[in-house]
Amino acid sequence: MGLGAFAAAAALVQAAGDETGRLESLALWSFRRAAKPRLGLPCAGRQPAGRKEKKMPTTDPQVMVKVCALSKTFTLHLAGPAVLPALRDVSLEVRAGECLAVVGPSGAGKSTLLRCLFGNCRLTSGEAWIRRRGRLIALSQASPRTVMALRETTLGYVSQFLRVIPRVGALDVAAEPLVSLGRSPEEARAAAGELLERLRIPRRLWTLAPSTFSGGEKQRVNIARGLVKSSPVLLLDEPTASLDAANKRTAAELINEAKARGAAVVGVFHDREVRDMVADQTLELRPIGGGRPLEELA
């Protein structure tokens, strides 16, 4: 499979595990309308009628990510239905060259926060802005096309799990984000290869599918894939959870190099050592509680 075809197919695979509900129709929209399908399926959309557009939250051009009073709930239709609160009144601000470490126990909504910033989860209330080409984009009002453009030009994402097309080699998996931007396969593979070498993925594995790799090897391919296009905003979901000490240090070095280039980083880091190496500020999240029947919320 060529890298161009892989870029299109990867858009569908990455969608697995994302928020359900509107995703099916949006996937169909992306497949039919977008010239080149990109990774993930956007769940952001325009504001409901009657909801006023949020004013620009800051004039500081260094602010790359801004979140104000963000809340997110999920409706579980097979459990009552019930509403499960995931995030409540979360606010943060990250400037170019800074790293915000998100910490908290399992179930506190850390990954949900990153998915909201990536456009996979619609905000229940509050607002989140991402700066693109000098302008802060309000995610609650962004069309699917705008969200796809943010992912293409602005957002880099390292998820907890590597979801890839079977039988595509690790080098092409890591190179695909650059190919989707129009870079030649040769140039993309060269940039991806440099990262794989730094992350200690042996060359003999580069042509093999990552599905055959160990957990730590998969995670290192995932890091290479997320960092290869030097995105202005990086969203990192436990990028070092399965790494040994040497590769944790390398991953921290790569994150700090991205910060030195001016990237704003929002990352979930359970490893205190890595967090101390990269974080400029910390946001602690706590679990909100169990789901509530819909009638109790009326």
Give 155's strand partners: 233
The pLDDT of residue 280 is: 97
Burial class (CB in 10 A: 0-12, 13-18, 19+), 134: exposed
Q: How far apart are CA 199 and CA 209, in angstroms?
A: 17
Q: How far apart are CA 266 and CA 281, in angstroms?
A: 10
Inter-axis angle of helices 3-14 and 23-33, to 10 degrees? 160
3-state secondary structure of 200: coil
Q: How far apart are CA 193 and CA 178, in angstroms?
A: 12
pTM of structure? 0.79
Q: What is the largest CA-CA distance in the chain?
A: 59
Is residue 221 within 8 A of residue 192, CB to CB? The reply is no
Q: Find where tokens 């160990």 sit.
A: 214
8-state DSSP, 89: E
Q: Which fold has domain 3-46+53-288?
A: Rossmann fold (3.40.50)
Report the run of H or E that residue 100 belongs to, with start and end. strand 99-103
Q: What is the mean pLDDT of residues 41-62?
A: 58
Q: How far apart are CA 216 and CA 243, in angstroms?
A: 5
Residue with the bigger pLDDT between 35 and 147: it is: 147
Inter-axis angle of helices 215-227 and 245-260, to 10 degrees? 10
Residue 3 has pLDDT above 60, yes or no: no
> Tokens for 280?
């400029």
Domain ranges, ordered by start, for the chain: 3-46+53-288
DSSP-derived pairing of the beta strands 99-103 and 264-268:
parallel
Q: What is the mean pLDDT of residues 129-142?
A: 94
The pLDDT of residue 165 is: 75
Q: What is the mean pLDDT of residues 179-189?
A: 94
3-state secondary structure of 63: strand
The pLDDT of residue 119 is: 93
Residue 269 has pLDDT above 50, yes or no: yes
Burial class (CB in 10 A: 0-12, 13-18, 19+), 135: exposed
CB atoms within 10 A of CB 138: 20
Q: What is the mean pLDDT of the chain?
A: 82
Measured in residues, the chain has a length of: 298
Is residue 113 within 8 A of residue 279, CB to CB? The reply is no
Confidence class of residue 21 from pLDDT cuts 50, 70 and 90? Answer: very low
3-state secondary structure of 156: strand
Query: Is the peptide bond prior to 144 cis by the omega test (within 30 degrees of 0)?
Result: no
Per-residue model confidence as pLDDT tens digits over 190-233:
999 999 999 999 999 999 999 889 999 999 999 999 999 999 99
